[in-house]
Amino acid sequence: MEWLVHFYALHSKLIDQVGINAIFALSLSITLQAGHLALANAAFGGIAAYVASLLSIARGWPLSVTTLIGAAAAALVGAAVGWPVTRLRGVYLAIATIGFGEIALIVENNLSITGGAEGLSQIPNQTTTWKIYLVLAVLAFIFWRLRRTRAGWAIAAVREDEHAAASFGIDPTRVKFWTFVASAAIAGVAGSLYAHENFFIAPGDWGFSRMVDILVYCVIGGAASPWGAMLGAGIISLLPEVFRFLHDYRDIVNGVVLLAVVIFAPQGLAGLWARDRRGRKATPPGAAEAQGS
Amino acid sequence: MSVLHYRDVGVNFGGVHALHGVSFDVQSGHVVGLIGPNGAGKTTLINVTTGVVAPTTGSVTLDDMPLSGRRQYQIARVGVARTYQNIRLFPRMTAIDNVVVGATRIRHDPDLGAFVFLPSVRRARIELQEHARYLLHRVGVPRDEWDTVASVMPYGSQRRLEIARALAMRPRVLLLDEPAAGMNPAETANLQALIRSIAKEDVAVMLVEHDMPLVMGTCDQVAVLNFGELIATGTPAEVSRDPAVVEAYLGSEALP
């Protein structure tokens, strides 16, 4: 027990980061589950972070209130952006959402209320480990149960074949729009928690490199699985720490590990587990080859 | 008792008349065969019915309800089901799950119910899976493939799974686009019995097929398309005697 307290005291910051990154990963996972690649989660995290931080600095409201308002703001912007862009497909949607992210950065860099490029500081340090993991647990529960709902089935069907889904009464545009809005809201929660963890935010915190980080969590963990997304966030956030003893070589080893996962588990780590589980049920001969193709 | 009406349906792709002035009816309880050479517009007619393609002229109505002008998912929701000539299953879902998605239209379990572990939602899920198993059994997908991912199922099973998925919708209209493609004679005979039994449940069935014995043995009515125009309608016997049909579609050889 004492060991645990000591461990937490030493690594609490890292533990918090893992949790926040996992929430970011979940936010991307819901759009990936519906089969579309929207890359504006970092930007939505930023929007919510600014809204929530400004409120808690100016008004001193509690974290739960400012985070909810921040997430709602992100969802609103998400709805405004999502209405046109979720009608785009594949790489065009990715490009449009990256473009939106860049616009958000420019706005944050130039508004006086956001502190411009210097960012916002003196954000009250209200985020605590239990709050992060409570949010994560609630989200995990929602994602788990979502699969049992009609909405969850619709999301999976649209991912598998948009056209065929439509011919069974599922409106693919509606599914893509609402997953986009939900994704923005969840990213907003993560952004607000991040802001109240770090005292300070700047536009650079919400740039394309963070978006790539979030995408890597999901790809490594397993694109279409919320468990994979959380697992990926955990592993990718911890890897640099695990390899700390390698000093200057750790980025290289880090990269090698990521490459190995992409090559040997193209479905992500969750995909490895699912494949194993399916393997135990009578898989017809030739199934493995067919799946590989 | 419902009826699918085609009235003067025309589709132009650019300058090409894919369909022109097509009018006929499909009654519930009947199987109407839609035949014609490749490129005659058979699949286009299915696409017009299901809202994939909007008709340039004319209209499609189900009873008194216009289908043309509605979106694909809206047409599905009033009970128009289809299968695809180029199989379009949900590839990474199991056979059972494919059928469960097919049942989307008739599901009424409350979306929030699953979050509070409502027993009725659990029961609804079990019933859905039961019904899916019944349908897979009915169309003849072997039991050991029910939990298999659709993309690795044998071709014939995939075709049958498409029909099971369409039946899960409890359709009023069922459009079958070449369901016998790639099937052997024994499988085709089973398919014929299946299609008849579906029609008997008061479903209006339209069968697009190249397998003439299947069409002639299954259908109450046959409609013949050639270059986008309806050149004959009637019973299989009438159509097979029609000189225009023999000329345009069957060549000079007599029917078997």
Kindly report the length of chain A.
293
> Strand B65-66 vs strand B80-82: parallel, antiparallel, or unpaired?
unpaired
The answer to whether A291 faces chain B, any CB pair under 8 Å, is: yes
CATH number at residue A78: 1.10.3470
Total number of domains constituting chain A: 1
The shortest C-alpha distance from A219 to chain B (Å) reads 17
Partners of B102 on chain A (C-beta within 8 Å) are: 168
The helices-and-strands tally (H runs, E runs) of chain A is: 13, 0
Question: Measured between CB atoms, which of B90, B109, B154 is closest to A164?
Answer: B90
Q: What residue type is A214 in one-letter code?
A: I
Partners of B91 on chain A (C-beta within 8 Å) are: 160-161
C-alpha distances out from residue B96 to A163, B81, B101, B109, Å = 19, 18, 9, 18
The answer to whether A281 faces chain B, any CB pair under 8 Å, is: yes
Interchain CB contacts (distance < 8 Å): A and B:
101
pLDDT, position B113: 84
Q: How far apart are CA B55 and CA B81, in angstroms?
A: 19
Closest chain B residue to A159 measured between Cα atoms?
A: B90
pTM exceeding 0.95: no
Kindly provide the b/e burial profile for residues A171-186, where b requires at least 16 CB atoms within 10 angstroms of the residue's own CB: bbeebbbbbbbbbbbb
Q: How far apart are CA A106 and CA B219, in angstroms?
A: 65
The shortest C-alpha distance from A267 to chain B (Å) reads 12
Q: Could you tell me if residue A104 is inside a domain?
A: yes
Q: Could you tell me if residue A5 is inside a domain?
A: no
The answer to whether A283 faces chain B, any CB pair under 8 Å, is: yes
Q: How far apart are CA A176 and CA A85, in angstroms?
A: 10
Give me the long-range contacts of B123-131 (CB less than 8 A, separation at least 24). Answer: B125/A148, B128/B100, B128/B103, B129/B96, B129/B100, B131/B99, B131/B103, B131/B168
ipTM score of the complex? 0.90
Closest chain B residue to A271 measured between Cα atoms?
A: B92
Q: Could you tell me if residue A102 is inside a domain?
A: yes
The shortest C-alpha distance from B49 to chain A (Å) reads 11
Chain B interface, mutation test: which of A141, A160, A176, A275, most B Cβ atoms within 10 Å? A160
Q: Could you tell me if residue A261 is inside a domain?
A: yes
Question: Measured between CB atoms, which of A156, A161, A282 is closest to B88?
Answer: A161
C-alpha distances out from residue A276 to A228, A269, A273, A280, Å = 15, 11, 5, 7
Chain B interface, mutation test: which of A141, A167, A174, A293, most B Cβ atoms within 10 Å? A167
Q: How far apart are CA B20 and CA B10, in angstroms?
A: 4
Q: How far apart are CA B22 and CA B57, in angstroms?
A: 10
Q: Could you tell me if residue A292 is inside a domain?
A: no
Q: Which residues of chain B are under the pLDDT cut of 70?
A: 1, 249-256
Residue B122: in which H helix or E strand, if any?
helix B119-139
Q: How far apart are CA B192 and CA B202, in angstroms?
A: 16
| CA-based nearest residue to A93, from A176, A153, A182 | A176
Q: How far apart are CA B171 and CA A201, in angstroms?
A: 56
Chain B interface, mutation test: which of A144, A145, A168, most B Cβ atoms within 10 Å? A168
Q: Could you tell me if residue A6 is inside a domain?
A: no
Question: Measured between CB atoms, which of B88, B115, B151 is closest to A145?
Answer: B115
Q: How far apart are CA A21 and CA A39, in angstroms?
A: 15
Partners of A286 on chain B (C-beta within 8 Å) are: 152
| CA-based nearest residue to A54, from A190, A186, A201 | A201
Chain B interface, mutation test: which of A87, A141, A150, most B Cβ atoms within 10 Å? A150
The shortest C-alpha distance from A193 to chain B (Å) reads 25
Token look-up 């340039």 returns B56
Q: B206: number of CA atoms within 13 Å, CB side?
A: 29
Kindly provide the b/e burial profile for residues B123-144, where b requires at least 16 CB atoms within 10 angstroms of the residue's own CB: ebbeebbebbbebbeebbbbee
Please indicate whether, in this complex, the C-beta atoms of B71 and A166 are within 8 angstroms of each other: yes
Please indicate whether, in this complex, the C-beta atoms of A284 and B77 are within 8 angstroms of each other: no
The DSSP call for residue B41 is: S
Partners of B71 on chain A (C-beta within 8 Å) are: 166, 171
Q: What residue type is A248 in one-letter code?
A: D
C-alpha distances out from residue B195 to B199, B200, B233, Å = 6, 9, 20
Chain B residues interacting with chain A (CB cutoff of 8 angstroms): 50, 52, 71-73, 76-77, 81-82, 84, 88-93, 97, 100-102, 104-105, 107, 109, 111-115, 121, 125, 144-145, 147-149, 151-154, 165, 169
Q: Could you tell me if residue A293 is inside a domain?
A: no
Cβ-contact A48, A71 below 8 angstroms:
yes
User: What is chain A's pLDDT, residue by residue, as a tens digit (293 residues)?
Assistant: 788 888 888 888 899 999 999 999 999 999 999 999 999 999 999 999 999 999 999 999 999 999 999 999 999 999 999 999 999 988 999 999 999 999 999 999 999 888 888 899 889 999 999 999 999 999 999 999 998 899 999 999 999 999 999 999 999 999 999 999 999 999 999 999 999 999 999 999 999 999 999 999 998 888 778 999 999 999 989 888 888 888 788 778 878 888 888 888 878 888 777 655 554 443 443 333 333 33
Q: Could you tell me if residue A3 is inside a domain?
A: no
Q: Give the range of the structural domain holding residue A148, as residue numbers without chain letter.
A: 12-286
